[in-house]
């Protein structure tokens, strides 16, 4: 479904991605893990069209995305849950969800999807008229996921969904991702929390200073001594059940 071929990207004179290649198949959950500054967010920005690649190609369902604007990429079926949630703080929860479907013209289906999202995430129904900025960090993360799902994405991309959340909310967010996986949603998950990401993912890539240094099945990466040392820590334990 998604393929990156030798992609290079950066900001000004600063190179960040130094020729990365990866792929995501339909129905897979693939995670990209790495430390701060590894290039994880830059990868998602490049896929989304927010940062044009300097070299290489990004293809989605056989179509070249390399020079397409972000709004066109969204209509093809890619939705991003950005780092830090980025909800519209002064707007209501419902208004935030409706903005996720801004490019859709099937109004009756949008209404149906809105009700489905509210049923799936009861907190969003309870807080429907509340300003998004008054929600907790975990509730805002659920809202950001719901907003992305309103776009009916073929590929859902998430950037650091556990960042800044209490352990209880990390567990809740990852249960949501596990449910989406069970329903066949294709997901590209960028995470610094390798423990959680490798539990929900089918496959993973390890990114270090703009290069893929390791990839494989998630279970194999969890058992890899170097991954355990660098990203899982001594005495690594699962963070959610």
Which tens digit of pLDDT belongs to each residue from 153-206? 999 999 998 888 888 888 888 998 999 999 999 999 998 888 889 999 999 999
Please check whether residue 178 lies inside any domain of the structure. Answer: yes
How far is C-alpha 73 from the geometric centre of its chain's CA atoms? 15
- Residue 239: the pLDDT is 46
Query: How confident is residue 85, by pLDDT bands cut at 50, 70 and 90?
Result: confident
Copy the structure tokens of residue 111.
Answer: 């209404």
Please check whether residue 54 lies inside any domain of the structure. Answer: yes
Question: DSSP class of residue 65?
Answer: -
28: number of Cβ within 10 Å: 19
* Segment 118-134, tens digit of pLDDT: 988 989 999 999 999 99
| Nearest Cα residue to 83 out of 15, 126, 146, 141 | 141
Helix axis angle for 137-149 and 167-182, nearest 10°, is 20
Please check whether residue 211 lies inside any domain of the structure. Answer: yes
143 and 82 Cβ atoms separated by less than 8 Å: no
- Total structural domains in the chain? 1
53: number of Cβ within 10 Å: 22
Please check whether residue 238 lies inside any domain of the structure. Answer: no
Query: How confident is residue 233, by pLDDT bands cut at 50, 70 and 90?
Result: low
Give the H or E element holding residue 137. helix 137-149
Question: What whole-number distance in Å separates Cα of residue 119 and Cα of residue 125?
Answer: 7
- Residue 166: the pLDDT is 84
SS3 186: strand
Average pLDDT of the segment spanning 140-146: 91
Please check whether residue 184 lies inside any domain of the structure. Answer: yes
Residue 175 phi, psi dihedral angles, 5° rounding: -65, -40
* Segment 33-72, tens digit of pLDDT: 988 889 999 999 999 999 999 999 999 998 999 989 998 9
Residue range of the domain that includes 70: 2-40+47-232
Q: What is the mean pLDDT of the chain?
A: 90
Residue 25 belongs to domain with CATH number? 3.40.50.300
Geometric angle at alpha carbon 178, from 65 and 33, rounded to 5°: 55
pTM given for the model:
0.89
Q: In what order do the strands lie in the sheet with 55-60?
A: 14-24, 2-11, 55-60, 63-64
Percent of the chain with pLDDT over 70: 96
| Strand-pair category, 186-191 with 155-159 | parallel
| Nearest Cα residue to 39 out of 55, 19, 13 | 19
Query: How confident is residue 105, by pLDDT bands cut at 50, 70 and 90?
Result: confident
Please check whether residue 179 lies inside any domain of the structure. Answer: yes
Query: How confident is residue 144, by pLDDT bands cut at 50, 70 and 90?
Result: very high
Does residue 78 surpass a pLDDT of 90?
A: yes
């Amino acid at each position: 479904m998604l393929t990156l071929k030798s992609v290079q990207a950066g900001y000004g004179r600063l190179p960040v991605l130094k020729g990365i290649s990866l792929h995501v198949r339909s129905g897979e959950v693939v995670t990209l893990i790495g430390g701060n500054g590894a290039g994880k967010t830059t990868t998602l920005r490049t896929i989304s069209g927010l940062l044009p690649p300097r070299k290489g190609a990004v293809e989605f369902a056989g179509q070249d995305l390399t020079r397409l604007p972000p709004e066109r990429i969204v209509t093809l079926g890619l939705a991003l849950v950005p780092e830090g949630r980025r909800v519209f703080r002064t707007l209501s929860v419902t208004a935030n969800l409706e903005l996720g479907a801004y490019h859709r013209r099937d109004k009756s289906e949008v209404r149906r999807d809105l009700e489905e999202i509210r049923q799936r995430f009861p907190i969003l129904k309870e807080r429907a008229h509340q300003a998004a900025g008054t929600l907790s960090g975990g509730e805002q993360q659920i809202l950001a996921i719901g907003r992305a799902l309103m776009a009916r994405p073929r590929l859902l991309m998430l950037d650091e969904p556990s960042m800044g959340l209490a352990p209880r909310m990390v567990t809740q967010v990852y249960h949501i991702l596990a449910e989406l996986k069970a329903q066949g949603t294709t997901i590209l998950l960028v995470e610094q929390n390798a423990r959680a990401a490798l539990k929900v993912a089918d496959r993973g890539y390890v990114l270090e200073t703009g290069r893929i240094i390791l990839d494989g099945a998630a279970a194999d990466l969890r058992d890899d001594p170097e991954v355990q040392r660098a990203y899982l820590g001594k005495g690594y334990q699962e963070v959610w059940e």
